[in-house]
Structure 1
């Protein structure tokens, strides 16, 4: 005798920003496998977004690709409207994964002003605008999940030389996460932050089984992180039974301190 169980996120709709590639892609795939209709946001990676949407649909899920740079102040409202039209429902789950990051090391005083503005708009204000737009619908339904992305140890509000504007934006997002979680808890909305470790390149789209045999001498865990490591935490936070988990800044780093490990 077999007992069929409903998927935990059946009937829910998610928007994953930066969902075409990397950690966002792994998160979108996992949420879709749990029954969620998923909007895959992208800026330039249209082919990757469409391929992912086709894959989700082929597996019996519902998905749509939506283009837009969340760092552009005019984009969030249009993006939310497109998701609602494409998927026919309001956004229940918002995963704010997108955000610019410049790997080139440079001091704050040497960074061009447009780069500084892009860091703040893309990593802080874009997420805040999207949150503000989806909260009314979440309140009306009495249910919502908002997940922000930070960097390792961002909750400690430490300085990060050569990453000043990026770090300032993410640390600001830490405070905002905690404030919003308290304000929205009475409405059935949880707000948390996930802080990935230094997961690079193709590893962002790998499963845990793909990296278990690999060695990472920098990682206290001993192996590199995979995209699935992060996606599993996001999925846990989005689970209906995780309604008591809110206002948390969760490290998914294998114990690595990215600031200490990458100082000169």
Structure 2
């Protein structure tokens, strides 16, 4: 059973882990941090005699802790200053505190390093090997808490992610297009501003039903209401004469509106104009 309190920030968990290192091992000094921006800033220090460890930021593969993170296993030295098994990038911090024995334990979550814990002593501590086991247990408990937090955050992101519109079958999409064209035809005959506003809201809801999972930001083409009316009817295969009768227009007027819509959409035919309007999100 974990001894960690699950409330608080990740930095709070590190502080708890560092305190546990002091309590459950014979090391007088403990410190550590979590990986952030490609390095581990030490955020908690307990038992130090000086302020030399403050500001320490450990990079993977560098120093004892960096090697532990890279190899995903604990590393220890009984004579830090003369060790040839590590780089000495952080001598100013470690030797500035006067540490000689140093144990570095990686915090591994789902097979990847998430941080490192250190336990140290100012002399060549004979208890290093004995204390490694409880130190590793603390690192594993910390990793378990971090794993739970990551899973909770993943589920929260999934729960809050926008739900994509349902995928329409070909028959449903065709029915939607017919309804949209009929709506445009009715809206063209309505004079009441309030009713036209309500019809416009309904039109936007129909367009949202047919929108792709990642819709375009904003249409680059702007069609007039009449151009959209005739294009919506043309999308259903109506002839110019049929569109004119349905919308109460002259056939030549319908042809003119189709021509301007095709020009705006840079389409050589009415069918290409319909396809371009759908790509722009102007019609289902």
TM-score with structure 2 length normalisation? 0.25
Greater radius of gyration (CA): 2
Give the TM-score, by structure 1 length: 0.27
